[in-house]
Amino acid sequence: MAKITMTVNGRQVSGQCDDRTLLVHFIRENLGLTGTHVGCDTSQCGACVVHMDGKSVKSCSTLAAQAAGSDITTIEGLAANGELHPVQAAFKANHGLQCGFCTPGMVMTAVDMIRRHGGQLDEATVRAELEGNICRCTGYHNIVKSILAAAAEMGGARVAAE
Amino acid sequence: MYETQYHRASSIQDAVKLRQAAGEGKYLSGGMTLIPTMKQRLAAPTDLVDVRQISEMKGITVSGRTVRIGAATTHFEVASSAELAAVCPAIAGLASHIGDPHVRHMGTIGGSIANNDPAADYPSAMLALDATIVTDRREIAAGDFFTGLFETALEDGELVTAVTFEAPAKAAYQKFANPASRYAMTGVFVARRDNGDVRVAVTGAGSNGVFRHKGMEAALSAQWSPDALAGVTVDPSDLLSDIHADASYRANLVKVMAKRAVAAA
């Protein structure tokens, strides 16, 4: 057991866990932040994506100990003052989800994608960058549409063709 | 995952010391292969020595045509380095197609090379670029480094700290990715020096891991064009066969990827 300290959604947190504890379990079980999901648990599906020091990572393939001292953002950290983050709002407006299980990972991935590409984001790039996120409901069309709408809202990108 | 003890190293010296003190320990870099492998209980190191935050193992330096990439440099950093893209866009392009964005944010060049997965991308680049693998104790030519499936010349406790190479005149990497895993079912890295020397390295196809194809090298040294490969035969007897592709299919892919790489270089 070790005491792990990190910043999660702007708040310094600590918890006791085994060295083998995965970051996703630390977030869900020690911190009670259950928005981050475990989907496949084999690094394929991306439901567990969080940001570590500003970059998207798979929290099911990262040890909590590796993340000690870092700055983590989870899906719970996006909305501010009761207002949805523009990416969350775009997923809602464009029906970018059905069952919603993959959505936290999709949204965290989209935020990272828009941060890196900004106004350069086009449909082909969005589809290529969704490589590490699996959705079994939507067929991706409305997810892509949501991300492009959010990118346009946040930085002025082209809107997806219908 | 079985129990393990986590240690974070602050320097190369510290890492080697921690690893020596550990029982059945392993170095941990991005962990994009090691952690999933441990989760499946296919690996059970007693200790993990995390080298991801060692500053002397991070970053890319380009001086003239000489490139040095620290072992703890992520695929994302290699893919997005303007300095590197200016002298060797082929390796930046290769890094941009490893795994997915999240994996590229964590996975490192040193980790990939030390693991030597027969379907990993980087080993082909190291071999074709005639790179030198720098460790805590010596320098190893890429040609001597990759010794078999998941096997390297690394001794117990030896740590890859950087790779260095001279940027070639022309180079490109083309891979035929497995539609599900996106690992290379066959990937070919071609590199041509100013003096006309050519190296062709193949990953994902060899039953003994990454290899050079001397026949294609000779053909391309004589004439640098995709057509030069038309008459070259790729022997399927040493190639992998699995449910995704049999050896003869891979033999054909080797040639197709090599032609595409030469055309793209």
- The answer to whether residues B234 and B251 touch, using CB atoms and an 8 Å cutoff, is yes
The CATH number of residue A147's host domain is 1.10.150.120
Looking at residue A28, its pLDDT comes to 98
- The answer to whether residues B157 and B23 touch, using CB atoms and an 8 Å cutoff, is no
Task: Mark whether A36 and A90 lie in a shared domain.
Answer: no
Q: Is residue A162 a part of any domain in this protein?
A: no
Average pLDDT over residues B104-133: 97
- Across all residues in chain A, what is the average pLDDT? 94
Q: For residue B262, is pLDDT > 80?
A: yes
Q: For residue B71, is pLDDT > 80?
A: yes
Rounded to whole angstroms, the Cα distance separating B204 from B254 reads 9
Looking at residue A2, its pLDDT comes to 86
Average pLDDT over residues A15-27: 97
- Pick the last residue of a domain from A43, A58, A76: A76
Q: How many CB atoms lie within 10 A of CB A74?
A: 23
**Residue B2: its chain A contacts at CB < 8 A?**
20
Q: For residue A155, is pLDDT > 90?
A: no
Rounded to whole angstroms, the Cα distance separating B25 from B18 reads 9
Task: Mark whether A69 and A97 lie in a shared domain.
Answer: no
Q: What tokens does A141 get?
A: 């069309």
Q: What is the pLDDT of residues B1-39, one digit of tens each?
A: 999 999 999 999 999 999 999 989 999 999 999 999 999
Looking at residue B23, its pLDDT comes to 86
CA angle A133-B116-A125, nearest 5°? 30
Q: For residue A119, is pLDDT > 80?
A: no
Residue range B170-264 forms a domain whose CATH class is: alpha beta
Task: Mark whether A69 and A6 lie in a shared domain.
Answer: yes
Task: Mark whether A71 and A121 lie in a shared domain.
Answer: no
- Pick the last residue of a domain from A22, A48, A76: A76
Q: Give which of A16, A58, A108, A112 to mutate to test B binding, by max B Cβ within 10 Å.
A: A58
Facing B35 at nearest CB: one of A62, A132, A133: A62
Facing B101 at nearest CB: one of A65, A68, A112: A112
The answer to whether B102 contacts A20, with C-beta atoms less than 8 Å apart, is: no
Task: Mark whether A18 and A63 lie in a shared domain.
Answer: yes
Q: Provide the residue ranges of all domains of chain B, joining segments of one domain with +.
A: 5-50, 170-264
Q: How many CB atoms lie within 10 A of CB A54?
A: 11
- How close B261 comes to chain A (CA, Å)? 21
Average pLDDT over residues A133-141: 96
* CB proximity B2 to A under 8 Å: yes
Domain that holds residue A44: 2-76
Q: What is the pLDDT of residues B167-193, one digit of tens each?
A: 999 999 999 999 888 899 999 999 999
Which residues contact residue B256 at a Cβ distance below 8 angstroms, ignoring those fewer than 6 apart?
Answer: B176
Facing A132 at nearest CB: one of B6, B76, B100: B100
For residue A156, name the pLDDT band (cuts at 50, 70, 90): low
- Please count the structural domains in chain A: 2
Q: What is the pLDDT of residues A37-88, one digit of tens each?
A: 999 988 899 999 999 999 999 999 999 999 999 999 999 999 999 999 999 9
Q: List, edge to edge, every strand of the sheet that includes B60-63.
A: B60-63, B66-70, B160-166, B132-135, B139-141
Q: Which CATH number fits domain B5-50: 3.40.50.720, 3.40.190.10, 1.10.760.10, 3.30.43.10?
A: 3.30.43.10
Looking at residue B97, its pLDDT comes to 95
- The answer to whether residues B219 and B228 touch, using CB atoms and an 8 Å cutoff, is yes
- SS3 state of residue B165: strand
- The answer to whether residues B117 and B33 touch, using CB atoms and an 8 Å cutoff, is yes
Give the DSSP H or E segment for B254.
helix B247-264
- Pick the last residue of a domain from A76, A109, A138: A76
Q: Is residue A161 a part of any domain in this protein?
A: no
